[in-house]
């Protein structure tokens, strides 16, 4: 397997490369949160069994390459979903980063990276009829039964408090990496930053990174660095 060729030339590694290329644009003393999709897996033959899929050999290799490519002057902590491929991604990033002299702590499973509060059968049924961006908008609008779909705002804000509060214990200049799934990642992007879902999906090892400044959020999103307002519910809770 030519890992360097896959890393540099494959379309599905493009978002991962973009993250690596732009992390140095954040202030040197900032604490960064990186929300990352797991590495490469095969497409499921039966959609209901997607949670059982593990990483491919390419997935293992590129997750490790991602870890090797992170700036080793920043310590990292890695959290992951309970699903195997997310744990495998986290372990490969951890090992790759340590091999280049980086300081890494594998933090383990973290509930909001998988537990989204949606009935699985209802979820799969929607995907048979709608594009993911339409489902997100319908969910945010309160279209679905709350006993089957935890209300959108409730999930995204609760997840924010759990994930963002981890920064209090993060090392200075560090990166907290949260390995999750494409659906979770796109949901949090919309719910936290009010960036409407579009037709773009997020590739394997892709995601977004951000840091809190005094009066704004600095967000790395699809290779673009954006300055965004801090949402009022986060300002109020944390006395910005």
pLDDT < 70 stretches in the chain? 42-52, 235-240
- The number of CA neighbours under 13 Å toward the Cβ of 95 is 12
Q: From residue 234, give the alpha-carbon distance in Å to each of 10, 39, 48, 171.
A: 38, 30, 36, 21
Domain containing residue 93: CATH number: 3.40.50.1240
Number of structural domains found in the chain: 1
- Return all residues near 144 (Cβ < 8 A) that are at least 6 apart: 122, 138
Beta bridge partners of 218: 211, 227
pLDDT at 211: 94
pLDDT at 240: 43
What range defines the domain where residue 134 resides?
3-238
Cα separation of 124 and 173, whole Å? 40
Beta bridge partners of 178: 35, 79
pLDDT in tens, 224-240: 999 999 998 886 555 44
pLDDT at 50: 57
pLDDT at 27: 92
Q: From residue 164, give the alpha-carbon distance in Å to each of 161, 187, 236.
A: 5, 16, 14
Surface-to-core class of residue 137, CB atoms within 10 Å of its CB (0-12 exposed, 13-18 middle, 19+ buried): middle
């Amino acid at each position: 397997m030519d890992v360097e060729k896959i890393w540099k030339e494959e379309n599905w590694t493009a978002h991962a490369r973009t993250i690596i290329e732009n992390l140095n644009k954040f202030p040197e003393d900032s604490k960064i949160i990186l929300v990352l999709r797991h590495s490469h897996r095969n497409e499921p033959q039966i959609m209901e069994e997607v949670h059982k899929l593990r990483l491919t050999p390419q997935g293992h290799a590129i997750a490790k390459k991602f870890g090797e490519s992170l700036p080793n002057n920043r310590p990292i902590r890695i959290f992951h979903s309970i699903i195997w491929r997310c744990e495998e991604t986290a372990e490969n990033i951890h090992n790759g980063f340590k091999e280049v002299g980086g300081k890494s702590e594998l933090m383990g499973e973290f509930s909001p990276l998988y537990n989204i509060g949606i009935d699985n059968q209802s979820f799969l049924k929607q995907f048979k009829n709608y594009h993911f961006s339409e489902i997100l908008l319908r969910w945010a609008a309160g279209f679905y039964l709350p006993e089957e779909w935890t209300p959108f705002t409730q999930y995204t804000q609760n997840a924010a408090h759990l994930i963002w509060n981890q920064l209090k214990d993060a090392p200075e200049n560090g990166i907290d990496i949260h390995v999750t799934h494409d659906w979770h990642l796109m949901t949090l992007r919309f719910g936290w930053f009010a960036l409407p879902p579009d037709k773009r999906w997020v590739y394997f090892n892709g995601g977004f990174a951000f840091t809190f400044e005094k009066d704004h959020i600095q967000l790395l999103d699809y290779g673009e660095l954006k300055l965004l307002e801090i949402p009022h519910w986060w300002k109020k809770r944390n006395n910005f």
